[in-house]
Amino acid sequence: KHRKTGRDVAIKVIDKMRFPTKQESQLRNEVAILQNLHHPGIVNLECMFETPERVFVVMEKLHGDMLEMILSSEKSRLPERITKFMVTQILVALRNLHFKNIVHCDLKPENVLLASAEPFPQVKLCDFGFARIIGEKSFRRSVVGTPAYLAPEVLRSKGYNRSLDMWSVGVIVYVSLSGTFPFNEDEDINDQIQNAAFMYPPNPWKEISSEGKDDYQTWLDLREFETRIGERYITHESDDARWKEHAYEHNLEYPQHFIMAPNPDDMEEDP
C-alpha cells in the first residue's frame, strides 16, 4: 500500500546492474509519458524513485489484464457485447493520447488492464515503454512494439503515426472475439500482415454476427483510408451520445469516465 494515500499499488523494479540499459531507458520513457497523462482510461503513475542499484516506478494496482480475461472465459474468447464495451474504452483512451500527439506503439491485450473483476470492467492502458510523441503529419520509421500487433506500414518501413495504434486495436478485437491470432503460425507472420492474409475459420467466426465481422474487417483493411478510419470514428463530436445510446440499447451501464475524454475542439494544431 501507498504509505500516504493507503491505496494499493504495483511497483516496477529495474536492476540497473542486471538489466540492459535499453530496459532502463524504456522505463524512463514510460515515466516521462505517464507524468503528463491524467485520464481514467490510462494507468495512474504514483511516483518514481531510484537508488544507485535500482529504479522503482509506483503505479496504481489493478486486477489482471484483458488477455487473462480472454483466456479464463468459458470459451477462451469474449462475447461481442463485452468486447465492444472494452474496446470502446480503449478508443476513448487513445483519443486522449492522440490529441496529445502520443502514440502507444505496443497495444495488445496484456497492456489493457482491468480496474475490477466485473463482467463489464473499466479498462486502463499501461506499459508506455515504446510510446512515442508524433505529430499528426509526422512519421516514425523505427520498428517498435510486438510483432503480431504491428501494422503493415511499420513492416514495410514506410513510416507510421497514429494509424499504428488503430491497427493494433483491430488485432485486439480479433483476439478477443476468437481467442486466437488472425495468422497462420506455420507461415511468416510479417508476410501475412503485409498482404492482409488473415484467417476466418468457421469456429468461431460462424458464431459471430455480421456486424462484428464488418467492424473487425474495417480495422484491418490495408488501405490507408481504412487504417485511419478509427481515428475519425473516435474523434467525432457525437461519440458520447452514441455510446450512451449503445449502452442503453444493450442494457449496459455507461461508464461515466467515457465522457471525460477531451473535446475535439480542444485539440491543438500540430506545428
71 and 54 inside one domain:
no
User: In the chain, what is the straight-line distance between the N-terminal and C-terminal CA atoms, in Å?
Assistant: 42
Number of structural domains (the chain) is: 2
- pLDDT tens over the chain, length 271 residues: 666 666 788 888 888 887 667 777 888 889 999 998 988 899 999 989 989 888 888 999 999 999 999 999 999 999 988 998 898 889 889 888 988 889 998 999 999 999 988 888 889 999 998 888 875 444 444 445 677 787 776 766 665 677 788 888 888 998 999 999 888 777 888 888 877 777 888 888 889 888 777 766 666 664 443 344 444 444 444 455 655 665 566 555 555 545 443 333 333 333 3
Q: What is the domain-level CATH number for residue 17?
A: 3.30.200.20
17 and 73 inside one domain:
no
68's CB contacts (< 8 A; 6+ apart) are none
56 and 75 inside one domain:
no
Domain that holds residue 96: 64-250
CA 126 to chain centroid, in Å, comes to 8
Q: Where are the alpha helices (DSSP H) in 59-105?
A: 66-72, 80-99
Q: Where are the alpha helices (DSSP H) in 100-179?
A: 152-155, 163-178
116 and 21 inside one domain:
no
Cell of 173: 478485437
What's the farthest any 2 CA atoms get from each other in the chain?
57
Residue 121 lies in a domain: yes
Residue 42 lies in a domain: yes
Cell of 83: 468486447
Domain boundary among 19, 38, 60: 60
28 and 129 inside one domain:
no
pTM of this structure: 0.78
106 is catalytic: yes
Distance CA 188, CA 204 (A): 23
87 and 126 inside one domain:
yes
Q: Of 106, 127, 215, 239, which one is the catalytic site residue?
A: 106
- At residue 99, what is the residue type? F
Domain boundary among 60, 85, 102: 60
Residue 199 lies in a domain: yes
